[in-house]
Amino acid sequence: MHVACTSMTGLRLLIGLAAYKNRLLMASDVINAYAQSGPLAKTTYLVVDDAIREWYYERFKVFLPTGSLLELQSSIQGHPDAGANWQEKVNTTLSAMEWNRTKHEPCLYRREVKDAPDQLMCRQVDDMLLAIKTEEEYYEFNKEISKTINMDPENKLATSFNGIEIEQTQGYIAIRVEKYINKVNQNHGWEKETCSKKPKAPLNDTLANT
């Protein structure tokens, strides 16, 4: 099972609501999410390579023989159960914090706060984008979730999320993918200097007639 990801529609919906309701967009990242997702249901062993042998010696001052096996105590990237374990961990944690997932977009969350505007959040695997009224709400969220999950908060207005550039002003919130487009143009040699306004001829007569 793979971990759920937010759709572009869901992300745009959150950002649109943030603009409409005059919210701040602030992001936090989970540190080594899969390693925090708890023990594996089935006993799993890892064949160590030289990098792991060096790490093991630095930590435990013990040289592991080549070809040694280590029993995994938690999920790692690439393990078949890693995504499902993380999904269970993060949803259980957020549910305990009274965050409710939307029915048709499981990576969009809403939380009601007593005597305060409701809070909104979008989760992309281990990245979280919050739409909140004040910075204090953001700091309180990170403090609360850090009791269970180690976080790396950005502690500033979000400028990007999931590949989208975000500009926040007093009058509007704008989203762009300018950097991504420029990177694609550069990688394919499509910069202005090399592009022509004249359409290229079809590759063959078959394509020309389709």
Q: What is the pLDDT of residue 115?
A: 79
Domain count of the fold of the chain? 1
Residue 123 lies in a domain: yes
Residue 60 lies in a domain: no
Q: What is the pLDDT of residue 204?
A: 65
Q: What is the pLDDT of residue 12?
A: 94
Q: Which two tokens stand for residue 196?
A: 């022509």
Residue 191 lies in a domain: no
Q: Which two tokens stand for residue 122?
A: 């979008």
Q: What is the pLDDT of residue 108?
A: 96
Q: What is the pLDDT of residue 206?
A: 56
Q: What is the pLDDT of residue 78?
A: 81
Residue 198 lies in a domain: no
Residue 61 lies in a domain: no
Domain that includes residue 129, residue range? 8-39+74-185
Contacts of 133 (CB under 8 A, 6+ apart): 22, 23, 24, 116, 117, 119
Residue 133 lies in a domain: yes
Q: What is the pLDDT of residue 79?
A: 84
Residue 32 lies in a domain: yes
Residue 86 lies in a domain: yes
pLDDT averages per 10-residue partition of the chain, 210 residues: 81 95 96 88 89 92 91 84 90 95 92 88 95 96 96 95 94 93 85 68 62
CATH number of the domain enclosing 118: 3.30.70
